[in-house]
Amino acid sequence: MDGLRRVLCGWMCVLALHGTAQVPAQNAFRVVYKDKAGSPAANLSPRALERRTNQGIALDSTDKPVSPTYIANTLSLTEGKLHLTSRWLNYAVILLTDSSKILALAGEPYIDTIIRVGYYSPGLYKMTGEDEAPGNTPFTTAKTTGGEAYYGATYTQTKMVNGDYLHDRGYKGEGMLIAILDDGYYQVNTNRFFDSLRTSGRIVDAHNFVKNTDDVYDASEHGTQCLSTMAAYVPGEYVGAAPLASYALYVTEKLPEDQPLEMDNLVAALERADSVGADVISASIGYNGMVPAFPSVTLAEIDGKTTVAAKGVNMANNKGMFCVMTAGNDGASPWKKILTPGDADSALTVGWVDENRVPDAQSGYGPNAGGRRKPDVCLLGSSVSIIGNGIITFSSGTSFSTPQMAGWAACLLQASSKNTSMYTLRTAVHKSAHLYDTPDDNQLGYGVPDFYKASEILGLKDTPAGGDGNSQWVILRTNPVQQQLDMAITLPQNGDVQIGITDVSGKLIYKTTQRLQKGEQRVMIDMPQVTPGIYFVKVIAGDQRHTAKIIKR
């Protein structure tokens, strides 16, 4: 431990400049452990375990928590406060008001390395009292698609990638869970464009990793703006890419300057997303320069696997989550390159183009330092329609091209088999893009994806949710519906069939599970009291699923 002691003593010279007399100030340290002695078994939600099972991903040692004994010893010796842990990378981040107490760890045999990752004056939060410990507490709280009249302000960005093709078939992200990592979600709990999201209970988790609370609705709204491109839903005015998906809202950014701790917050958020069973990750955040007290990320480290943030994203992909990351907006700066974790080898990294598919000068350049093509694809980033300050407005950047891609990915996952791997999905998106045969290694990658083509590549055979909604195994015998919905369902074997009917806002108005026999059977659903309008019926039998639009007269 002599080397570690020398490093810690060296830090004391630097920390002395900050002083320890200002009690509110806090230094953050990343304490990496050598092993996981005494760690309990992995604790993942049933949804997370199902995702692993569907993709054939086995549990391993990285799924086990950090050793409780090591954490307890670390806090006892330093009198510090636990900020977060990473089970994947086996470390804890602790906060100290007296930085000299980090020296107490120098002789501990279970500690591998200690890295200072943040300094905050005043501190992030109180050392004792009301703050919550890190955990996985759940947070509770007359037009068809395809036309400009339905999408309103989002028509341009939707039509550019043929996203309406997925929506027309009833694939709006229903049943998928998207975790978004950003700086705050101001007014998401009150704004009318998110009414559908709230009233249907589709905000399933929320946590502020900066302040270590479950309050994410602070004064920052970059996260709100990004979320809106996926989740805002007022047909006729604004329809996001995945308006019926469920969402986990995570705050990982501490404004206004970047410090290494924010990458630790990102890793912790990815792990929590894994625990609650997220399918897709969207992060419009990236790093290179740090405040002067900390070393900045170097170009050589943007190699897809070196930074803590890139390691976290690669691990998240290995756990079965589809990670969509921003390329960043530094293309016109001296840095010029993509940011981390957009450099991560496994990420689907997104750049920024205008309506004519021309890359903006600010969109980050690839490839990463390891030679991997980045960005992967580009979506509309110029004058993107977003919800900001409570109204429909327009803004530009990879911040807004990225979540659009995440939303469409969720729709593709909804339409595809549960055992579709992240590699298969990423490949389909690549192959659908307009430059797939002649890719660009600078700002465009494979170009602008086409989700009609992506669905064909994935072999999605379900027929459009229009007309009578015919398919090989589900036929709507009455549509429009007067008093009774009459369906013919054909099964290859006996089994349970789930049937649900939702309105255009995603509100479930009817649900049943019936045991049907092999072959064709009729199912009748009475609808005399249902208000006239447009609805969607979804039928699930084993791995088969079919969604169709119905009109109630």
**DSSP states along 454-511:** HHHHTT--PPPSSTT---SSEEES-SSBSSEEEEEEEESSSEEEEEEEEETT--EEEE
Task: State phi, psi for 494 to the nearest 5 degrees.
Answer: -60, 145
Q: Are 412 and 174 in contact (CB under 8 A)?
A: no
The answer on pLDDT for 400 being more than 60 is yes
Quick check: helix, strand or coil at residue 114? strand
Task: State phi, psi for 10 to the nearest 5 degrees.
Answer: -65, -40
Q: Which pLDDT band, with edges at 50, 70 and 90, does 5 fall under? A: very low
Among 263-272, 325-334, 481-490, the range scoring the smallest mean pLDDT is 481-490
- List the domains of the chain with CATH numbers: 2-120 (3.30.70.80), 151-457 (3.40.50.200), 474-552 (2.60.40.2550)
Span 477-483, mean pLDDT?
84
Q: What percent of the chain has pLDDT over 70?
A: 89
The answer on pLDDT for 43 being more than 80 is yes
Q: Pick from 334, 403, 404: which is nearest to 362 by CA?
A: 334
Find the largest Cα–Cα distance for the chain.
Answer: 81
Both structure tokens of 427: 């490949």
pLDDT computed for residue 404 by the predictor:
98
Q: What is the pLDDT of residues 230-263, one digit of tens each?
A: 999 999 999 999 999 999 999 999 988 899 999 9
Quick check: helix, strand or coil at residue 285? coil
Q: What is the pLDDT of residues 130-159, one digit of tens each?
A: 343 333 322 222 233 457 888 999 999 999
Q: Which pLDDT band, with edges at 50, 70 and 90, does 449 fall under? A: very high
pTM of the model: 0.80
**499 beta partners:** 512, 539
pLDDT computed for residue 23 by the predictor:
41
Q: What is the pLDDT of residues 273-324, one digit of tens each?
A: 999 999 999 999 999 999 999 999 999 999 999 999 999 999 999 999 999 9
Q: Are 98 and 20 in contact (CB under 8 A)?
A: yes
Q: Which pLDDT band, with edges at 50, 70 and 90, does 487 fall under? A: confident
Q: Which pLDDT band, with edges at 50, 70 and 90, does 3 fall under? A: low
pLDDT computed for residue 4 by the predictor:
52
Instruction: Let me know if 534 is exposed, middle or buried by CB neighbors in 10 A (0-12, 13-18, 19+).
Output: middle
**203 beta partners:** 247
Among 375-379, 384-388, 537-541, the range scoring the smallest mean pLDDT is 537-541
Q: Which pLDDT band, with edges at 50, 70 and 90, does 505 fall under? A: low
The Cα-based distances of 496 to 22, 147, 416, 517, 548 in angstroms read 65, 36, 20, 9, 19
Q: How many angstroms separate the CA atoms of 177 and 409, rounded?
A: 11
Q: How many angstroms separate the CA atoms of 432 and 430, rounded?
A: 5
pLDDT computed for residue 249 by the predictor:
98
pLDDT computed for residue 14 by the predictor:
45
**DSSP states along 375-423:** S-EEEE-SSEEEEETTEEEEE-SHHHHHHHHHHHHHHHHHHS-TT--HH
